[in-house]
Amino acid sequence: MFCTQSPDYPMPTTACIIQDVLKLSTQTACFDFNLGCSGYIYGLALGSALINGGISERVLLLCAETYSKYIARTDRTSRAIFGDGGAATILERSQGNEFIGPFVFGTDGSGKDKLIVHSSVGRNGIRENLPQCLVMDGAGVFMFTMKRVPECVHSLLQKANKTIDDIDFFVFHQASKIVIDNIIRILSLEDHKVFRGYEKIGNTVSASIPIALKQADEQHLLKKGDLIMLVGFGVGLSWGACLIQW
């Protein structure tokens, strides 16, 4: 499964190209799905469902974005925030007590214009009068985040029958410093329980959460058995969260 909003081509799906590059069996199911900052959470849910449903034994979940090709050279705001990046996660049935879930999701398509690339070969075709680059309403995305992320966190805690103190570590989508700072403030989280990994690589959209998990592991911030909350949010507007046991 390949999550991206910046594929190599409108068609075919990049997952089909990856199958050939990796020389995977032609009996492998391969598909793309188009989601941004919440994409990793959706991918974990889809992969888990395929395994739990007996459809797949193992899932390779890839998230990669090259947003830089959408950002105008004169756009000093977006160019300073976003970074290109990719991540690979293998999902398979646990032989121990580790788990993924439960999940919560949300969508508000009325906010589609908050973060958008208008020109495409889909609905609009290629039209010179449409912006060719990413357009972001930074203030609008920020206000959306401050409203929806705390709601999402509390909804997941309620669904899992947990309290916020039961969570050992939080990995939020690495949107920006100001976003993470304010999420911590609104939820009254302990700073040492929240990962920050945006300083060197920026906001890598769907790849940000798995990259952050890898960084946290390399920094020895995660212990076996830790209960970790993952929260993605952004373009769509879309959001999602889940629990994993490390």
Residues 86 and 111 in one domain: no
Please check whether residues 169 and 55 belong to one and the same domain. no
* Domain-terminating residue out of 57, 92, 127: 92
For residue 99, the model assigns a pLDDT of: 82
Query: Is 133 a residue of the active site?
Result: no
Do residues 124 and 241 both lie within one domain? yes
Those residues whose C-beta lies under 8 Å from the C-beta of residue 242, and which sit 6 or more positions away, are 41, 44, 45, 100, 101, 102, 103, 104, 156, 229, 230
Note if 173 is an active site residue: yes
The domain in which residue 162 lies consists of: 100-245
Q: Which one from 3, 37, 63, 242 is the annotated catalytic residue?
A: 37
Contact (CB, 8 A) for 221 and 194: no
Domain end point (choices 92, 112, 131): 92
State yes or no: pLDDT of 131 exceeds 70.
no
Is the pLDDT at 116 greater than 90? The verdict is no
**CA 122, 123, 125, 130 torsion-angle sign:** negative
Decide: residue 54, CB within 10 A, 0-12 exposed, 13-18 middle, 19+ buried: exposed
Q: Quick one: 44 and 153 in the same domain?
A: no
Predicted pLDDT of residue 106: 96
* pLDDT at position 204 over 60: yes
User: What is residue 38's predicted lDDT score, i.e. its pLDDT?
Assistant: 96
Interval 166-175: pLDDT, tens: 999 999 999 9
* Arithmetic mean of pLDDT over the chain: 91
pLDDT band of 125, cuts 50, 70, 90: low
- Which range among 79-83, 121-125, 167-171, 178-182 shows the weakest confidence by mean pLDDT? 121-125
Number of domains composing the chain = 2
Choosing from 3, 30, 152, 203, the catalytic residue is 203
Catalytic residue among 30, 63, 152, 173: 173
For residue range 36-87, list pLDDT tens digits in order: 999 999 999 999 999 999 999 999 999 999 988 888 888 888 888 889 999 9
Tell me: pLDDT of 225 over 60.
yes
Do residue 9 and residue 48 come from a single domain? yes
- 109 shares a domain with 12: no
- The Cα–Cα gap between 157 and 13 comes to 36
pLDDT tens-digit readout, 145-165: 999 999 999 999 999 999 999
Residues 68 and 182 in one domain: no
pLDDT tier, 130 (very low <50, low <70, confident <90, very high otherwise): low
Q: Are residues 145 and 205 in the same domain?
A: yes
Q: Are residues 193 and 236 in the same domain?
A: yes
Together in a domain, 77 and 195 = no
> Who has greater pLDDT, 170 or 201?
170
Asked if residues 92 and 57 have their Cβ atoms less than 8 Å apart, the reply is: yes
How far apart CA 147 and CA 233 sit, in angstroms, is 11
- Among residues 33, 61, 92, the one where a domain terminates is 92
Over range 200-223, report the average pLDDT: 94
Q: In angstroms, rounded to a whole number, what is the distance separating the alpha carbons of residues 134 and 131?
A: 8
- Are 63 and 108 members of one domain? no
In this structure, are 125 and 81 located in the same domain? no
For residue 154, indicate whether it is catalytic: no
